[in-house]
């Protein structure tokens, strides 16, 4: 490993790494094994003997290999990296890892889908988890975020209900990884606080192009507390430096079959190639005195703080630069918890956050089999930890000595509590008064204004995608009553939206809605994200006899901008240019598909076959219909003309290679070209 990727966490993990290659096979007791092909039998055709301890150990271990998958976020993928703050945040927080711009804090990030099983596919319509563990000098800080800034419910007590409703229905365990079924939509109409989150779920945000091109949001309002004990409300954001981009639904569904590992492969491959994903950390800060200045309750997790009203201050950057060594040991066993905080970061009374503070430790107890999961290498803090907690399943620490209680005199009352000056965590002394009640504040009652704000902020293409998503999902719902209630409910978000859903489903459109919100928040639209070309994948369709000097020029031009071209042809092996240059074929029309690329460049060559032509036509046609940038030079141009592609937005043709390369790159930066006439 290069030195720049070495850090304190990596050094700690190194102690636990085992390299088996080249070693002798042993039992777990260290005994060398002389036979691993045949169990011990009474005679070559006789029964296996109980005495065969190696067989028993091997089989028993195998029989116990599985642990329960996470109750939500079961399918995930993770990477190591580091975080660096740009400037000291001392004014707001005493968190040590946010003070010194020269300090690199090791991080471990796990991305996930929420609903699907561990073995489901990456690209289903779903919320994505974005959980970061910062291994700070003051202990682990976990920012357990999602790629959407709001949530389905307002109170943690309803979490089992929303999860039961959105997971596959219990009587037949269908559908997998999808909200497109009766119980989810029944939950929505019966729990209208879910309106805003449902808008996000039906939007392009729910089908990201890549984990590397996805925003992250801490969702809740947290507190920053500084050295003087002064607090500010804070919301956390991750902003990917590549911008936030999405797939389209038809493509997402097809990828789910063609490459169920699409997102994990993308993350893994780019880290292996040195295209390290980067995310800037942003904070929105509100002064305590301004708590009631907004037309929503800042403790309500179904609300966001519009970035135009409360700007996002960018305070640092995280870079993911190392893949895991072992998915089970690291990705599967990592245990996140929003309650893992460090001095300077504290909670608020957000009732959803309060519920989470209980749930996460509890779930690790069953999932990781006992209270010592903090000792698993990936979960260990990089700073020392001392306390009087003892024993339990799988305990590894050997606490020396006879004292395991507080207070004591035998050890001078150690391990000793630390004062605030010594780095001790002190809960923020918020004044709280009230009766014990089971109720929700009236200030949480508006479920539609921000759902409308979200709708208003979408571009025309994004609105169309949202309408299509509702139509698809409700098209899968059987209950007529639930469907009609959804239409009526979303009339309160926007009448056009509800009417288009109703018309498609043959239902009655609502006559009026309650929303009169005209405000927009441009930051919510993906159209306003960063336009970048780095790491985009371009399929280059070639066959023998291709015009090599021109093609090599374009390939160089693409690569010099960080674009990743792949040669696609009929067979594996080499394609030979018109002057004898050979290019290695990366994939064939059988092993890949245009849905796995951001753009397609078609050249062909002088030696096309009937099959090549048919496969290439299928490939390019689909890219066109998915609004992707497509380009053609030489023989490829004829195809574009015959198929009436030319003249459409994002379709670049020409035989001036310099001009073509420039325009093609611009088309790639635009991501998709929605104004195209696709039938
Ligand atoms: Fe949660 C996992 C994010 C609400 C209870 N949650 C989990 C993970 C993420 C989130 C990213 C996966 C962590 C990993 O990769 O291991 N959860 C959120 C966000 C929420 C949220 C952003 C709302 C703002 N969650 C939420 C509530 C509860 C839970 C309200 C319960 C009261 N979440 C869990 C859990 C999980 C979990 C059951 C399952 C596996 C795990 O914790 O480790 O405890």
Question: At 111, which helix (H) or strand (E)?
Answer: strand 105-113
For the segment 505-521, what is each residue's pLDDT rounded down to a tens digit?
A: 999 999 888 878 999 99
Ligand 1 site residues, Cβ closer than 6 angstroms: 70-73, 76, 110, 112, 129, 131, 144-146, 151, 156, 159, 219-220, 301, 334, 336, 352, 355-356, 359-360, 363
Two structure tokens written together for 367: 């999932």
CB atoms within 10 A of CB 233: 20
Complex ipTM more than 0.95, yes or no: yes
CB atoms within 10 A of CB 230: 14
Question: At 166, which helix (H) or strand (E)?
Answer: helix 159-166
For the segment 365-409, what is each residue's pLDDT rounded down to a tens digit?
A: 999 999 999 999 999 999 999 999 999 999 999 999 999 999 999
Taking the centre of ligand 1 as the mean of its atom positions, its distance from the CA of residue 146, in whole angstroms, is 9
Nearest CA to ligand 1 atom 28: 356
Predicted pLDDT at 17: 98
Nearest CA to ligand 1 atom 37: 72
What are the structural domains of the chain?
76-379 (2.40.180.10), 448-527 (1.20.1370.20), 531-669 (3.40.50.880)
Nearest CA to ligand 1 atom 44: 360
Predicted pLDDT at 604: 86
Phi and psi at residue 365, in whole multiples of 5°?
Answer: -60, -40
Which of 615, 571, 608 minimizes the C-alpha distance to 593? 615
Taking the centre of ligand 1 as the mean of its atom positions, its distance from the CA of residue 438, in whole angstroms, is 23
How many residues make up the chain in this entry? Answer: 679
- Which atom in ligand 1 lies closest to the alpha carbon of residue 130? 11
Q: Name the residue of 165, 200, 360 to mutate for ligand 1: max ligand atoms within 8 A of Cβ.
A: 360
Taking the centre of ligand 1 as the mean of its atom positions, its distance from the CA of residue 535, in whole angstroms, is 30
For the segment 607-634, what is each residue's pLDDT rounded down to a tens digit?
A: 889 999 999 999 999 999 999 999 999 9
Predicted pLDDT at 400: 98
Give yes or no for a contact between 116 and 103, defined as CB atoms under 8 angstroms apart: no
Instruction: Round the CA-based radius of gyration of the chain to a whole number and report it.
Output: 28
Taking the centre of ligand 1 as the mean of its atom positions, its distance from the CA of residue 260, in whole angstroms, is 23
SS3 670: coil
Measured distance CA(83)–CA(106) in Å, rounded: 6
Residue 125 pLDDT greater than 70, yes or no = yes
For the segment 198-235, what is each residue's pLDDT rounded down to a tens digit?
A: 999 999 999 999 999 999 999 999 999 999 999 999 99
Which of 145, 77, 73 minimizes the C-alpha distance to 111? 77
Measured distance CA(494)–CA(451) in Å, rounded: 9
What DSSP letter does each residue of 490-557 carry, written as one string? HTTT-HHHHHHHHHHHT-PPPS--S-------GGG-GGGS----TT-EEEEEE-TTB-HHHHHHHHHH
Predicted pLDDT at 161: 98
Percent residues over pLDDT 70 in the chain: 99
Residue 162 pLDDT greater than 70, yes or no = yes
Q: Where are the strands (E) in 288-349, listed by range?
A: 313-323, 345-346
Instruction: Write down the residue that tokens 């620490």 correspond to.
Output: 397
CB atoms within 10 A of CB 222: 24
Half-sphere exposure of 334 (CA within 13 A, CB side): 32
Q: Name the residue of 154, 356, 358, 362 to mutate for ligand 1: max ligand atoms within 8 A of Cβ.
A: 356
């Amino acid at each position: 490993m290069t030195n720049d990727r070495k850090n304190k966490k990596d050094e700690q993990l190194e102690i636990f790494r085992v390299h088996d290659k080249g070693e002798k096979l042993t039992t777990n007791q260290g005994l060398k094994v002389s036979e691993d092909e045949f169990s011990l039998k009474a005679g070559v055709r006789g029964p296996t003997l109980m005495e065969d301890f190696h067989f028993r150990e091997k089989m028993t271990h195998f029989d116990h290999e599985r642990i329960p998958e996470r109750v939500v976020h079961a399918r995930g993928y993770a990477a190591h990296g580091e975080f660096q703050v740009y400037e000291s945040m001392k004014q707001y927080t005493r968190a040590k890892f946010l003070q010194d711009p020269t300090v690199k804090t090791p991080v471990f990030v796990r991305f996930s889908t929420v609903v699907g099983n561990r073995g489901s596919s990456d690209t289903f319509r779903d919320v994505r988890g974005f959980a970061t563990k910062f291994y700070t000098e003051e202990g682990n800080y976990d920012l357990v975020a999602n790629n959407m800034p709001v949530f389905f419910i307002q109170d943690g007590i309803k979490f089992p209900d929303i999860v039961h409703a959105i997971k596959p229905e219990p009587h037949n365990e269908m559908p997998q990884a999808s909200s497109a079924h009766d119980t989810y939509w029944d939950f929505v109409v019966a729990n209208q606080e879910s309106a805003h989150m449902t808008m996000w779920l039906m939007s392009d945000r729910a089908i990201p192009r890549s984990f590397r091109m996805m925003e992250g949001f801490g969702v809740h309002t947290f507190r920053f507390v500084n050295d003087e004990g002064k607090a500010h409300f804070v919301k956390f954001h991750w902003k990917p430096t590549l911008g936030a981009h999405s797939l389209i639904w038809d493509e997402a569904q097809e990828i789910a079959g063609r490459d169920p590992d699409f997102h994990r492969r993308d993350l893994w491959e780019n880290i292996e190639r040195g295209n390290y994903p980067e995310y800037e950390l942003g904070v929105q800060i509100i002064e305590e005195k301004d708590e009631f200045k907004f037309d929503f309750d800042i403790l309500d997790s179904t609300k966001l703080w519009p970035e135009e009203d409360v700007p996002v201050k960018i305070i640092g950057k995280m870079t993911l630069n190392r893949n895991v060594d072992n998915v089970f040991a690291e990705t599967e066993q990592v245990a996140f918890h929003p309650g893992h905080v460090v001095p300077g970061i504290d909670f608020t009374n957000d009732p959803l956050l309060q519920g989470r503070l209980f749930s996460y430790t509890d779930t690790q107890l069953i999932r990781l089999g006992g209270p010592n999961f903090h000792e698993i290498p990936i979960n260990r803090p990089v700073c020392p930890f001392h306390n009087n907690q003892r024993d339990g399943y799988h305990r590894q620490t050997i606490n020396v000595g006879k004292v395991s209680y507080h207070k004591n005199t035998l050890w001078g009352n150690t391990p000793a509590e630390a004062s605030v000056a010594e780095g001790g965590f002190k809960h923020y002394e918020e004044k709280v008064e009230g009766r014990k009640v089971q109720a929700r504040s009236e200030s949480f009652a508006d479920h539609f204004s921000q759902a409308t704000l979200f709708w208003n902020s979408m571009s025309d293409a994004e609105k169309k995608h949202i309408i299509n998503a509702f139509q698809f999902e409700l098209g899968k719902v059987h209950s007529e009553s639930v469907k009609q209630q959804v239409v009526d409910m979303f009339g309160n978000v926007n009448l056009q939206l509800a009417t288009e859903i109703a018309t498609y489903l043959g239902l009655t459109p609502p006559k009026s809605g309650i929303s009169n919100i005209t405000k927009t928040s441009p930051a919510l639209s993906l159209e306003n994200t960063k336009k970048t070309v780095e790491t985009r994948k371009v399929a280059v369709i070639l066959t023998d006899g291709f015009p090599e000097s021109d093609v090599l020029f374009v390939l160089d031009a693409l690569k010099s901008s960080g674009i990743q071209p792949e040669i696609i042809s009929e067979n594996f092996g080499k394609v030979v240019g018109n002057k004898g240059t050979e290019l290695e074929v990366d994939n064939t029309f059988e092993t890949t598909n245009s849905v796995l690329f951001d753009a397609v460049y078609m050249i062909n060559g002088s030696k096309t076959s009937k099959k090549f032509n048919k496969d290439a036509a299928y490939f390019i046609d689909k890219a066109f219909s998915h609004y992707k940038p497509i380009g053609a030079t030489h023989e490829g141009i004829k195809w574009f003309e015959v198929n009436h592609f030319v003249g459409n937005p994002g379709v670049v043709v020409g035989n001036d290679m310099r001009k073509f390369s420039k325009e093609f790159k611009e088309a790639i930066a635009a991501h998709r070209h929605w104004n195209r006439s696709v039938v």
